[in-house]
Amino acid sequence: MSLALTRTLWRYRGFIMGSVKREFQARYRNSLLGAAWTVLQPLAMITVYTVVFSELMRTRLPGIDSPYAYSIFLCAGLLTWGLFGEILQRGQTVFLDNGNMIKKLNFPRICLPAITVINAVVNFAITFSIFLAFLAVTHSLPGWVILYAIPVLLVQIAFATGLGIIAGVLNVFFRDVGQFVNILLQFWFWFTPIIYSTATLPASVRPWMKLNPMTPLAQAYQGIFVYGLAPSWSTIWPAAVLAAGLCVVALTLFRRRAGEMVDEL
Amino acid sequence: MGDVRVSGLGKAYKQYPGQWSRLAEWILPAGKPRHIEHWVLKDIDFHLHAGEAVGIVGANGAGKSTLLKMLAGTVRPSCGEITIGGRVAAMLELGMGFHPDFTGRQNAVMGGQLLGLSLEEIAQLMPHIEAFAEIGEYVDQPVRTYSSGMQMRLAFSVATAQRPDILIVDEALSVGDSYFQHKSFERIREFRREGTTLLIVSHDRYAIQTVCDRAILMDAGRIRMQGLPVDVLDYYNAMMAEQNHHRIQQKTLADGRVTTISGSGEASIVDVRLLNQHDRPADTVEVGEPLRLQVRVRVNSALPRLVLGFLVKDRLGQAIYGINTHRLEQPLEDLAAGEEATYCFSFPARLGKGSYSVSLSLSREDSHVDKNFEWRDNALIFHVFNTDKEDFVGSSWLGADVTITRHDMASSAIHPAQGLS
């Protein structure tokens, strides 16, 4: 199943990469600064957080003295959450948005979510490299520990892709799914320790936070970038297994409902 | 390669009374089906041989597009089997996936990639695509600046850049100017000579008759008739008039032609004759010979108004001349049951060589679609010969005369000078 899938995606790699490129070009067409906007947006975000939290509010993380620590803490969580949110939100509309193409052209439909995911990853890569540049400028680079972020990111991407495809297929049949996912994402964001640390929560709430698969992922990024610590893999594993499970469910659902999906579009 | 075999094909769409019942069907494990199957296509069987061209005709909603989508592979059949030998190129909508902000060239590359071509293959085909589309410098302009005809030129060129084993075309060729239409038909013919099977849906009688070897008539999701394009189209025409579809008969005439008779039957044609100037039946006619078409009509039930029309068609079924008594301002009014009338139209056979058919219609008004008492295709056939006129080409004799004035440029330059001296 996955072999045939990989082969299909490989055969249509030209179309997939072309679409990713095209989506990028389309976004900044008819703008003067063009691709510079991709850089300016995250730069603005990082600047705002740094100025507001470390200069104006003088927020400090317990145990670290650096004025940038809280800003780094925020960005580590927010940027990666952004990747998760983008894959999920665009995944849930990917089939609806391309309905006419799915009905009129015979091509492997699995290319569509692949384009969405790669697009989100490229966006993230640009944003994240600005973040890394910021770390370098403020002498806050954590060293080789940073490479541990890659497997964590892979788990997160797989998790988001699985969920995104499931939501995308279901959304064709039940438009409620799209509405629901948007609300879910808001709650999920605040239930994940992104702008706060679990240490600040009352002890009675903390065990519940562990049920959220995004918690260990967010904590892993914060650990790497703020404290220079390797993630605790024992907390990542459950999320990884869940992500793999979701991908299998997503592909099965997609396969089973792909035909019916065309009838509904 | 190029064979298409369809057997027992059907397509049903699920209709749920509401979204909740769909959810119930999905979730409840021992659930009974909660949907109604709405069959849009049923019991479709046909076999296309490699290199054959088949046209599909039928009213809107007959299931033509669904059938093409299933053959193209975008819609999944509910039952039955499709076996396709070779690569399919389907033009269900031209310019699908074009992005208006990108140049023609960029979109062509994208279109090629969607067909599964590699960048190298596209690069190789690009000069051919450009040459065929003939849009000149526009190929490097954004597609939004294109006229719809130019968009279609580019899209067609991309879609047919490589010869497919099976080409599926849905109405797409009706756009574009006549020059490009001609050119695209030529390309399709060329593909056919090389063995491409063609399946085309069109409402354009001319397209089907000139390109196809066979036509399939679809009606309410089923195949109603298969056969020679002329016969199928005549039947389709009769069917369009006869919305209840009863009382359509087709008879095979002595010469192998098929006559189609349809209508509600309040009036009927008893006898048709084509007579020459010596009052003899004319099945062979000289170019320009005066003819009389005599039609005897019987009224079966009282009618307020009756119009008789006739239409002369050429071998391909193209209309050459048609007129009716409404347009000639001689409709009959207040007819009693049992009454009979004989009509006599006279006209000269200013036609080109070849065979022609006469179709007749009995209706209440100008158009037979309103109320069709009887429609009779191929009511009679006659052949036009040319023995005493100049040998001209075409379907009508315009009887051109010619006068020629020669201009001797060398001497005319001298004449004024001579006049002066």
Give the three-state DSSP class for B271. Answer: strand
% of chain B surpassing 90 pLDDT: 10
Among all chains, which residue has been given the structure tokens 């890569």?
A125
Mean residue pLDDT across chain B: 83
Across the interface, whether the CB atoms of A101 and B97 are under 8 A apart is answered yes
Instruction: Using a pLDDT cut of 70, give the percent of chain B over it.
Output: 91
Residue identified by tokens 């850049």 is B161
Quote the tokens at residue B366.
Answer: 């100008």
In chain A, which residues have their Cβ closer than 8 Å to the Cβ of B23?
174
Least confident of B91-95, B157-161, B284-288: B91-95
Q: What are phi and psi of A85, to 5 degrees?
A: -65, -40
The answer to whether the beta carbons of residues A261 and A169 sit under 8 Å apart is yes
Could you tell me if A265 lies within 8 Å of chain B, comparing CB atoms?
no
Which residue did the predictor score with more confidence, A90 or B372? A90
- Neighboring chain B residues of A258 at a CB cutoff of 8 Å: 76
Residue pair A61/A69 in contact (Cβ under 8 Å)? The answer is: yes
- In which band, very low, low, confident or very high, does the pLDDT at B23 lie, cut at 50, 70 and 90? confident
Helices in B146-228 by DSSP H: which ranges? 148-159, 178-193, 205-211
φ/ψ of residue A96, rounded to 5:
-65, -45
pLDDT band of B310, cuts 50, 70, 90: very high
pLDDT tens, position by position, B245-270 = 456 677 766 666 677 778 788 888 88
B36 touches chain A (CB under 8 A): no
**Signed CA dihedral, A207, A211, A214, A220: sign only:** positive
B171 contacts in A (CB within 8 Å)? none
**SS3 of residue A193 by DSSP:** coil
Nearest to A174 among B23, B75, B101 (CB): B23
Q: Cβ–Cβ of B119/A14 closer than 8 Å? A: yes
* CA angle in degrees (0–180, nearest 5) for B187-B189-B195: 110
- Do residues A95 and A89 touch, judged by C-beta distance below 8 A? no
Q: Does the CA dihedral B66-B72-B75-B78 come out positive or negative? A: positive
Alpha-carbon distances of B143 from A207, B125, B153, B172, rounded to whole Å: 57, 19, 12, 18
Evaluate if pTM is beyond 0.90: no
Q: What would the two tokens of residue B143 be? A: 């597609």
User: Is residue A135 within a helix (H) or strand (E), and if so which, with residue range?
Assistant: helix A111-137
**Residue type at position A42:** P
Q: Are A173 and A265 in contact (CB under 8 A)?
A: no
User: Which pLDDT band holds residue B311 (cuts at 50, 70, 90)?
Assistant: very high
Say yes or no: B90 contacts chain A, CB-CB below 8 A.
Answer: yes
| Res B417: pLDDT | 47
Residue-wise pLDDT tens digits, B188-202: 888 888 888 888 888
Tokens of A253: 């659902």
Question: Does the beta-carbon distance from A29 to B101 stay under 8 Å?
Answer: yes
Give the pLDDT score at B31.
Answer: 65
Which of B14, B76, B116 comes nearest A12 by C-beta? B116
Q: Is the ipTM above a cut-off of 0.90?
A: no
Indicate the angle between helix axes A13-28 and A111-137, nearest 10 degrees.
60
* pLDDT tens sequence across B70-92: 888 888 888 888 888 888 888 88
Helices in A12-106 by DSSP H: which ranges? 13-28, 36-49, 69-97, 99-104
Tell me the shortest Cα–Cα distance from B2 to chain A, in angstroms: 18
Task: Judge whether A4 and A108 are in contact, CB under 8 Å.
Answer: no
Answer yes or no: do B101 and A26 touch at CB < 8 A.
yes
Over chain A (265 residues), the average pLDDT of each successive run of 10 is 80 85 80 80 83 75 75 87 92 88 84 92 89 86 86 93 92 89 91 84 83 89 87 87 92 86 82
In order of A59, A106, B20, B258, the CA distances from A76 in angstroms are: 16, 41, 42, 79
Contact A15 B114 (CB under 8 A): yes
CB B378 within 8 A of CB B356: no
